[in-house]
Amino acid sequence: MDTKELLKKVRKIEIKTRRLSDHVFGGEYHSTFKGRGMTFSEVRQYQFGDDVRNIDWNVTARYNEPFVKVFEEERELTMMLMADISGSEFFGTDAQFKNEIITEIAATLAFSALQNNDKIGLILFSDEIELFIPPKKGKSHVLRIIRELLEFEPQSKKTDVAQALRYMTNVIKKKAILFVLSDFIADDYRDTLKIVANKHDVTGIRVYDKREAEMPNIGMVQMRDEETGERMLVNTGSKKVRQEYHKYYRGRVDYFQESFTKSGAGALSCRVDESYVKKLLGYFKRRA
């Protein structure tokens, strides 16, 4: 992708996702993810309806009229986006690939965090850590994250969610809001997830294509595993083959849902051809 095309794509995603974060998600994000507590801001004259427990008696005595303490939410939150860029993300049977939806969701979340003056960081992973961008504030930083999501070419096409989660705990010491974006066609990450969710506020966002759930009956087909590169002839006309595939796929979906739920983390699934906006809004409202 040349520089001109890349900048055009970044701008297109910025316009779309920033509009969403400004008008839809900003307030929901703020309500869902609270700061670390309330910190003293100033004192002002008492007004009808103020909580009498907030009266500052020293200032009240000095001026011989009631004054109250004003508190503000102490935010300074850190959001980490952990995006799967393995081979299976470059799949799609409709208008967009899974990795394109992951990029849009990540950008929307990043602009929502930016609107609330929070830090944003990024981890791109396959079965290794492909890229780590430490959390920072600012629009230019968010645009860099979008650029990397769009153009970064991974060294590996395989997936290891557990390793990425372990890396996260090693580099981010303070509590963070973590969004893990993947198709989660993987397993063996449940134990690691429990450890991470015990320290951080974790949400798994499963992005998938409807054609992945069921194998169509179209006879003998040569298929290629996007993560291993292996090619094989598959008899999709066999009912047993289709059932075994469905069983395998359903097992991965159930593993994702159970792993995140039992770890105390949030989980939602977004299909490529459906509106991720409704899914995210519904999730934020349930969390708030």
DSSP run (H or E) holding 271: strand 266-271
DSSP three-state, residue 80: strand
In a shared domain, residues 61 and 137: no
Least confident of 108-112, 143-147, 217-221: 217-221
CA distance 105 to 182: 11
Least confident of 29-43, 89-103, 151-165, 214-228: 29-43
Number of domains in the chain: 2
In a shared domain, residues 64 and 120: no
Predicted confidence band of residue 213 (pLDDT cuts 50, 70, 90): confident
pLDDT at 97: 83
Looking up residue 153, the CATH number of its domain turns out to be 3.40.50.410
In a shared domain, residues 85 and 192: yes
Q: What is the mean pLDDT of residues 164-190?
A: 94
CA distance 250 to 216: 16
Other C-beta atoms closer than 10 Å to the C-beta of 288 total: 13
pLDDT at 246: 85
- Tens digits of per-residue pLDDT, 20-32? 776 556 567 666 7
Q: What is the mean pLDDT of residues 39-65?
A: 84
pLDDT at 69: 84
In a shared domain, residues 21 and 41: no
In a shared domain, residues 14 and 48: no
In a shared domain, residues 10 and 125: yes
Instruction: Please say which residue of 50, 74, 98 terminates a domain.
Output: 74
In a shared domain, residues 61 and 186: no
Domain span at residue 63? 37-74
DSSP three-state, residue 203: strand
CA distance 263 to 200: 11
What type of residue is 34?
Answer: K
Q: Give the rounded percent of residues in the chain with a pLDDT score beyond 90.
A: 43
In a shared domain, residues 58 and 130: no
Predicted confidence band of residue 74 (pLDDT cuts 50, 70, 90): low
Question: Which stretch, 132-146, 232-246, 267-281, has highest mean pLDDT?
Answer: 132-146
In a shared domain, residues 59 and 169: no
In a shared domain, residues 149 and 215: yes
In a shared domain, residues 87 and 202: yes
pLDDT at 239: 84
- Answer with the residue of higher pLDDT: 288 or 24: 288
DSSP 55: B
In a shared domain, residues 58 and 142: no
Predicted confidence band of residue 226 (pLDDT cuts 50, 70, 90): low
Instruction: Please say which residue of 74, 97, 125 terminates a domain.
Output: 74
pLDDT at 262: 95
pTM (2 d.p.): 0.78
- Answer with the residue of higher pLDDT: 174 or 133: 133
DSSP three-state, residue 40: strand
CA distance 222 to 231: 7
CA distance 21 to 109: 7
pLDDT at 214: 79
Per-residue b or e along 95-112, where b marks 16 or more CB atoms closer than 10 Å to that residue's CB: eebbbbbbbbbbbbbbbb
pLDDT at 91: 61
pLDDT at 135: 96
- Mean pLDDT over the full length of the chain: 85
